[in-house]
Chain A
């Protein structure tokens, strides 16, 4: 495979994943901010949404107020925000178009349709009636692409690079989401385990569509360390860091088997994988969840760079 093609596929996977994550994040934030204030439904839910996408500073520079409409518009349709859903789909589509030959017809059509549909919304958000269908559209479009890829793409390097891109992005998103909760959501003075805390942790689960999964796995009420366990260490949970690293490592192994070569990216991925396998949630909390997550995000970025280097992007 051409190195340029691999790079485009990898980034296409990342951008699609990011669009999906942002859509889910907005939905969860809507839910959180809809809570009556007696449950702590304060306006800062939208601040945390910005923080989870690492857009607090960029948004602040706009001088816009932090409310549902402005933040949603910024995160969905704003062409000036490189991480807005619109921008993500635009870049993913441009990548896909450039490497059209590496995708199947159905895969390409799913991405192209997604872009055409989101483009119909223009660059400003009419209101809540628009937002709902728009977010549904994005989630469906990404599912349609993944389904098409799953059903039609050859199990070869193209498939692996796309999946590796989404796995790396997904790990990054999960880690940031947890970190935001840990750092931002909990106002000073609010006790861990209080009602606000409960809704906020629940919201995180909803963001990643894991509420039911949580019940199945833990058969327990929502507890912060169990949510963290689910999203960091639980291998059954597709968005957990451990799951993402299982996937990254598997795809790297498949690539290595195909080419007969292993490299620095393998070593980094294996080390990251081992770190997640060899610890439990108590140890992570003892060391500091924030510290753990920050380190993870840094290492995860390094892995992305190592992959690019190894495959000559």
Chain B
């Protein structure tokens, strides 16, 4: 495969593959201490650290199931021990942009389930929202407690240049990966304590506390009076790919990890079954999709949910985080309107850029996409996890033809974007340190008292040379993300 030219976060722009190590003079200020560390670590020490890291992850049991993989339940996500660095100044700008974007997302959700101003103003086409499978009719006219819709948002960012950050997608439903952000840091602290001595890294371990405050702040009990709200985390169970994360978070938050069968609804109030009898539940951090949360309201065949939960929710007796119906904001067609959405609700210019997007539902765009398929990335508007997407430059002719047919049959289901050359970072591979493509998912928490973000996020890294696919379900790995003060 031809070498990809991309922005390398350590060395700056250029053809970074095969670049000799230790070439001095042009390493970015933020990466200098990392370069020194890499130079001082002989390959066998690096290999020993990598083995050590794997052992840590295996023992703590951080696994990620990949559906269809026979060893599914026990697979480790590859972890890279070279941290990814962001200078404080870079982070500050990003943080502002993230808060602005999530504020707009929340306002958008409140609006499309409320007065629908943005549709009337003709900014976003009405049918795109109202006929969208992600639009939840049962939520129309409802207002979740505290007025917050997306309490936990994961915004995927990619970098293409020194000051060029793009939002790749918004995850406003049930974004995952935060446990890796936290555990990656723990493992790094164990592996290279001496490096932390030299480089002062902004801590991320306040996340669980921030999340608990966020959840408690939107409890309906705040309006009812009474004691501390009872929060729980609802998981589909231990066979779910993200079960590790669910149990990890419940543990860190000190709240019960419940399955659907642990909860029941009586008189529109949610209770959990405990050894001491029923206990009332106020806030549910649910890691279960809308379709499965209540067989009475949605998918009637689902055994995972709680019958009557939607009724209790509609009565305002329980908070669901994230709210039901937030999937509309994850939609990739809606994504293409985000700059307009940000302007409409905040009156400001968007700080974070959108990747230019062709909406295939528009005939002109479709024509362009079909003509340039081999250069573009095509995604399903409601897809996630890297499933069902086409990466034009890497696809064989037959796949391109098959995708073209799919596009013509259901153009409204797809969007297309140029293949961005994601930035690269030094990464430990079997053949030594090499550049690999990365993206970043910071987690934005929003409660009654505004939005909060811990510095950094989850950096995902494509472990194969030249690959742009960083999804963990597609074999991507992760690395620790360090926000450090500018030199």
Q: What residue in chain B is nearest A109 (Cβ atoms)?
A: B59
How far does the alpha carbon of A113 sit from the alpha carbon of B248 in the complex, in Å? 17
Cross-interface CB contact of B275 among A100, A101, A112, A157, cutoff 8 Å = A157
Q: Which residue of B lies closest to A105 (CB)?
A: B60
Q: Does B273 contact A (CB under 8 A)?
A: yes
Task: Assess A108 versus B61: contact at CB under 8 Å? Given A2-B258, A4-B259, A98-B238.
Answer: yes
Determine chain A's interface SS by DSSP, over half rule.
Answer: helix
The answer to whether the Cβ of A236 comes within 8 Å of any Cβ in the partner chain is: no
Q: How many A-B residue pairs have CB under 8 A?
A: 60
Cβ-defined contact, A312 with B59, below 8 A: no
Q: Tally chain A residues at the interface, Cβ within 8 Å.
A: 24
A279 surroundings in chain B (CB, below 8 A) = none
Cβ distance A56 to chain B, nearest Cβ, rounded Å: 34
Do residues B251 and A1 form an inter-chain contact, with CB atoms below 8 A?
A: no
A259 to B243, CA, bound (A): 30
Residue A62 lies at the interface, judged by CB distance under 8 Å to chain B: no
- Indicate whether A259 sits within 8 Å of B275 (C-beta atoms), given known contacts A2-B258, A112-B59: yes
**Contact between B256 and A2 (Cβ–Cβ < 8 Å)?**
yes
Taking a contact as CB atoms under 8 Å apart, the answer to whether A4 and B58 are in contact is no
Supposing A101-B256, A157-B275 touch, asked if A4 and B262 sit within 8 A by C-beta, the answer is: yes
* Chain B residues whose CB sits within 8 angstroms of the CB of A105 once the complex forms: 60
Across-interface contacts of B237 in A (CB, < 8 A): 98
Chain B residue at smallest Cβ distance from A313? B275
* Contact B59–A101 (Cβ < 8 Å): no
Q: Which of B58, B60, B243, B272 contacts A2 (CB 8 A)?
A: B272
Interface size on B, residues (CB 8 A): 23
Cα–Cα distance between A113 and B60 once the two chains are bound (Å): 9
A3 to B274, CA, bound (A): 5
> Are A312 and B273 touching (Cβ within 8 A)?
yes
Contact with B along A101-126 (1 / 0, CB 8 A): 10001001100110010000000000
8 Å CB contacts to A: which residues of B350-398? Answer: none
Closest residue of A by beta carbon distance from B250 = A101
Residues of A within 8 A of B261 (CB): 4
* Cα–Cα distance between A169 and B43 once the two chains are bound (Å): 51
With A97-B238, A100-B247 already in contact, the answer to whether A1 and B58 are too (CB < 8 A) is no
Interface on chain B toward A: helix, strand, loop, or mixed SS?
A: mixed
Bound together, the chains give a CA A1 to CA B255 distance in angstroms of 10
Interface string of B37-63 (1 = CB under 8 A from A): 000000000000000000000111100
Minimum CB–CB distance for A76 against chain B, Å: 21
Q: In the complex, are the beta carbons of A259 and B276 less than 8 A apart?
A: yes
Q: Is the CB of B276 within 8 A of A261?
A: yes
Q: Which residues of B contact A39 (CB under 8 A)?
A: none
**Closest chain B residue to A258 by CB distance?**
B276
A residues 1-34 touching B (CB-CB < 8 Å): 1-6
Measured between alpha carbons, how far is A3 from B261 in the docked complex, in Å?
Answer: 11
> In the bound complex, what is the Cα–Cα distance between A97 and B275 (angstroms)?
20
Contact A112 B61 (CB under 8 A): yes
Contact A97 B61 (CB under 8 A): yes
- The chain A residue sitting closest to B253, CB to CB, is A101
Determine whether the beta carbon of A2 is less than 8 Å from that of B273: yes
Q: Let me know if A4 and B273 touch, CB within 8 A.
A: yes
Known A-B contacts A4-B261, A101-B247; the reply to A109 vs B60 at CB < 8 A is yes
Q: In the complex, A113→B59 CA distance in Å?
A: 6
- Please indicate the chain B residues that have their CB under 8 angstroms from the CB of A5 in the complex: 256
Q: Is the CB of B275 within 8 A of A312?
A: yes
- Expressed in whole angstroms, the Cα–Cα distance for A259 and B277 within the complex equals 10
Contact with A along B261-274 (1 / 0, CB 8 A): 11000000000111
**5 A-B pairs (CB sep. < 8 Å):** A2-B258, A4-B261, A6-B275, A259-B275, A312-B277
A-B interface, 5 closest residue pairs, ranked by CB to CB distance from nearest: A100-B247, A311-B275, A101-B251, A259-B276, A101-B250
Question: 20 additional contacts, CB 8 Å, given A1-B274, A312-B273?
Answer: A1-B275, A1-B276, A2-B256, A2-B262, A3-B274, A4-B259, A4-B261, A4-B262, A5-B256, A98-B237, A98-B238, A100-B61, A100-B251, A101-B257, A109-B59, A112-B59, A112-B60, A112-B61, A113-B59, A116-B59
